[in-house]
Amino acid sequence: MVQQKQRVAIIGSGNWGSAIATIAGYNTMRHKDVFEPTVNMYVYEEIINGEKLTDIINREHVNTKYLPHARLPDNVVAVPKAEEAARDATLLVFVLPHQFILNVCKSLKDAIAPGAHAISMIKGVDVANHHISIYADVIEKSLGIPCAALSGANIANEVAQGLFSETTIGYRASQRGLVDYYQKLFDTPKFRVGAIEDVSGVSLCGALKNVVAVGAGFVDGLEWGGNAKAAIMRIGLMEMRNFALEFFDGVKPETFTETSAGVADLITTCYGGRNRKCAEAFVRTRKPFHVLEAELLNGQKLQGTETTKDVIEFLESHGKVDKYPLFKTIYDICYNGLDPQQLTERL
């Protein structure tokens, strides 16, 4: 049997999207038996110094706006229309801000190849009308194709520099036969890919870690030291896992405690991330989060506080908030004026 080669399209080209494109481009060339070598990358068109960003990328092979210090492989081609980038693609990599997902999926519907499948690197959860969804499910539902998730301790700039990292792919039972493609597309000696049959767990790790990171940032602001910070992280990891097990089917507890998407990404985020940073500044300055976001994040968005709000409103609508005392305390500090000094009192 001659197997069809996978045609890869990357839908998104921010900091993380560009970093993962460097890996995907490298690997499609390395595994020509499995992949068509050209990797289209959907780039939302912007004008940079009078020139189109797609033109700059395709001439210089650098995303000068979002990942200026890394060279993209020549076989990664910037395409300014999502449906053109995804034309006949069999393997779609979604890596764009969640607010654009639904519109982009709509435009892709008629472009993708029969039997196509997807993998999502989108962070966060979609909460509406007392219902919570991961974005892999949103994509799956919108396009009618199976969608895996990739998440891990993956600071984009470090990955792009070729520093050692691990990551985790959470896949669906229907994607078991496709895991080998995902591994081949992303695994390198410096970017090690693990896989686990748990798309919800992997996705929720990427969303809920940001809630815990806000708590870790409070500890830093309070100057409570290493013991307290590790305690908040441990308790947070348990609440993350319990939340996933309570509200999603097929979640594996070990996704949280054993994988790069789980415990490792939590560590990276609680020591290095932007949520931690703003939460620390919140305690020190008592400025509102939207002010700190503007002052400290250089245009990036603060996900932790928003996810905290989504999660607590969802839990309250289900009468389950009391089972998540750390999440609730973080919420009350962010939104209800609770003194950060009271961070551990309900734990």
Residue ranges of the annotated binding site are 12-17, 100, 123, 156, 274-275, 301, 303
Strand pairing category for 131-134 and 147-151: unpaired
User: Using an 8 Å Cβ cutoff, are 92 and 148 in contact?
Assistant: no
User: Using an 8 Å Cβ cutoff, are 97 and 70 in contact?
Assistant: no
Q: C-beta of 204: minimal distance to a copy of itself in Å?
A: 17
Q: C-beta of 243: minimal distance to a copy of itself in Å?
A: 15
Residues 267-286 that bind a copy of itself (CB under 8 A): 267-268, 271-272
> Which residue is listed with tokens 């996900």?
303
> Within a 10 A sphere around the Cβ of 230, how many other Cβ atoms?
14
Binding residues for substrate: 123, 274-275
Catalytic one of 52, 209, 229, 277:
209
> Which residue is listed with tokens 């976001």?
293
> What's the chain's Rg over C-alpha atoms?
20
User: Using an 8 Å Cβ cutoff, are 222 and 341 in contact?
Assistant: yes
Compute CA distances 207 → 104, 142, 188, 304, 309, whole Å: 21, 20, 25, 8, 12
Q: Which is nearer to a copy of itself, 41 or 235 (CB)?
A: 235
> Which ranges in 189-249 belong to alpha helices (H)?
199-222, 225-247
User: Using an 8 Å Cβ cutoff, are 167 and 191 in contact?
Assistant: yes
Q: Name, in order, each residue with C-beta under 8 angstroms of 90's C-beta and a sequence gap of 6 or more.
A: 4, 6, 7, 8, 112, 113, 115, 116, 117
Task: For residue 209, indicate whether it is catalytic.
Answer: yes
Q: Which is nearer to a copy of itself, 124 or 273 (CB)?
A: 273
Select from 178, 301, 314, 189 the least CA-distant residue to 244.
Answer: 314
Q: C-beta of 235: minimal distance to a copy of itself in Å?
A: 8
Distance (Å, whole) CA 107 – CA 103: 7
Q: C-beta of 324: minimal distance to a copy of itself in Å?
A: 16
Backbone angles phi, psi at 262, to 5 degrees: -90, -105
Q: C-beta of 231: minimal distance to a copy of itself in Å?
A: 4
Q: Which is nearer to a copy of itself, 314 or 324 (CB)?
A: 324
Compute CA distances 49 → 15, 46, 64, 83, 276, whole Å: 19, 10, 11, 26, 34
Q: C-beta of 152: minimal distance to a copy of itself in Å?
A: 8
Residues 140-199 that bind a copy of itself (CB under 8 A): 152-155, 158-159, 161, 163-166, 189-190, 192
Strand pairing category for 39-42 and 8-11: parallel
Binding residues for NAD(+): 12-17, 100, 156, 274, 301, 303
Q: Which is nearer to a copy of itself, 148 or 235 (CB)?
A: 235
Q: x/- binding map, residues 218-257, to a copy of itself, per CB under 8 A?
A: ------xxxxxxxx-xxx-xx---------------x--x
Residues 37-66 that bind a copy of itself (CB under 8 A): none
Q: Which residues bind a copy of itself (CB under 8 A)?
A: 152-155, 158-159, 161, 163-166, 189-190, 192, 224-231, 233-235, 237-238, 254, 257-260, 263-265, 267-268, 271-272, 343-345, 347
Name the residues annotated as catalytic: 209
